Amino acid sequence: MVLQDLGRRLNSALQSVSASSTIDEQALDAVLKTVCSALLESDVNVLLVKRTRERVKRQVLPQLEEIQHKQGTDHDAMAGNKAKQLIHKAIFDELVALVDPGDDAPPAFNPVKGKTQVIMMVGLQGAGKTTTCTKLATHYQRRGLKVALVCADTFRAGAFDQLKQNATRAKVPFFGSYTETDPVSISLQGVNKFRAERFDVIIVDTSGRHRQESELFDEMCQIQDAVEPDMTVLVLDGAIGQAAEAQSEAFKEASNFGAIIVTKLDGHAKGGGAISAVAATHTPIIFIGTGEHLHDLEKFAPRPFISKMLG
Ligand code: GDP
């Protein structure tokens, strides 16, 4: 189920609560059944869905009983409304919790003007790294920061040309090489050059592979050791589904990335896999990619995201 459909399904489940005349445990189970099957069909990890269901029930049931107990003395309609609000809030909060790694997760990274900060992008080939690098560069540039791009992808033929084209279109200075084959050397040269020129943000685009493999992780760690990024960002394809959890865990172990950008959430992505990656790696999503164009990047925040999804 794609993300927009998930939103519609969740919304109609919540509306069915509002329309229902009796709010009791049975009604709560019915709405949770719809919510949970919608989440599962969107590839949210089964254990997370189970946890969501249990947490909503644990939160709602005692209060629901209390409301029902009072119902004799209270106006029925008022008690009913209270119960409906309770269920709405509990489900909304748990949906937010799915995409929120919590207060003990690393804080969102905000580059500042006047000091050089290096961002390294990692992820599998095709996830959208190169596209996202330029989007991110443009985002920071529009906020007044001096930004440059470094292409450390020597694995994929045409990677440098792609970054060069994107960077030129976005008017972002870039560094790369057609002849140098060592990604560590290129990234270091690029970062050193832009550091010396006092750029605020240097974004390093690394190469991916079609699948996780030790060669990719070795290269990633070597680049990381060389350029010492202030932030490593995992770029995750929003359409990868259930594989997202294992993939993000493997990248977390190898690179200890501090933020996630989920791409392609405009298309037919189910998105649930990416949601599971947040929980699996305890790392915040900072942006989402919503198209192929330069400005198709949205800042991510859990509450507004869920509100918008529910429409
Ligand atoms: P890389 O191999 O990780 O560097 O991936 P690329 O940046 O080359 O992106 C792979 C494909 O995904 C390209 O066709 C991009 O235009 C496309 N792409 C990247 N981000 C998005 C996005 O947010 N939405 C859509 N629809 N396509 C995207």
Given a contact cutoff of 8 angstroms between Cβ atoms, the answer to whether 94 and 297 are in contact is no
Amino acid 74: pLDDT = 53
Distance 231 CA to ligand 1 centre (A): 21
Distance 132 CA to ligand 1 centre (A): 8
Q: Mean of the pLDDT values across residues 159-173?
A: 95
Mutate to test the pocket of ligand 1, among 292, 297, 298 (most ligand atoms within 8 A of CB): 292
Q: Whose CA is nearest to atom 5 of ligand 1?
A: 128
Report the atom number in ligand 1 closest to the C-alpha of 159.
4
Pick the more confident residue, 32 or 73.
32
By mean pLDDT, which of 71-75, 95-99, 169-173, 217-221 is the weakest?
A: 71-75
pLDDT of 220 above 80 = yes
Q: Whose CA is nearest to atom 28 of ligand 1?
A: 292
Q: Whose CA is nearest to atom 13 of ligand 1?
A: 128
DSSP string for residues in 296-308: -EEE--HHHHHHH
Checking DSSP bridges between strand 297-299 and strand 285-289, what pairing results, if any? antiparallel
Return d(Cα 171, Cα 177) in angstroms, integer. Answer: 18
The model's pLDDT over 226-247, given as tens digits with 9 standing for 90+, comes to 999 999 999 999 988 888 889 9
Q: What is the ipTM of this complex?
A: 0.99
Ligand 1 environment, Cβ below 6 A: 123, 125-131, 208, 263-264, 266-267, 289-292, 296
Amino acid 65: pLDDT = 83
Q: Whose CA is nearest to atom 2 of ligand 1?
A: 126
By mean pLDDT, which of 74-78, 261-265, 297-301 is the weakest?
A: 74-78
Distance 12 CA to ligand 1 centre (A): 32
Distance 38 CA to ligand 1 centre (A): 27
SS3 261: strand
SS3 141: helix
Mutate to test the pocket of ligand 1, among 166, 263, 266 (most ligand atoms within 8 A of CB): 263
Element (H, E) at 216: helix 214-227
| pLDDT-above-70 percentage for the chain | 97
Distance 263 CA to ligand 1 centre (A): 7
Amino acid 17: pLDDT = 84
Report angle CA 40, 42, 46 to the nearest 5 degrees. Answer: 30
Q: Whose CA is nearest to atom 26 of ligand 1?
A: 291
pLDDT of 225 above 80 = yes
Residues 6+ apart with CB under 8 A from 297: 132, 135, 136, 138, 139, 261, 287, 288, 289, 290
pLDDT of 73 above 60 = no
Amino acid 269: pLDDT = 77
At 211, is the pLDDT very low, low, confident or very high (cuts 50, 70, 90)? Answer: low
| Amino acid identity at 200 | D
| pTM of the predicted model as reported, rounded to 2 decimal places | 0.92
Return d(Cα 246, Cα 244) in angstroms, integer. Answer: 6
The model's pLDDT over 17-50, given as tens digits with 9 standing for 90+, comes to 888 878 888 889 999 999 999 999 999 999 999 9
Q: Mean of the pLDDT values across residues 257-264?
A: 95
Amino acid 72: pLDDT = 57
Provide the mean pLDDT of the chain.
90
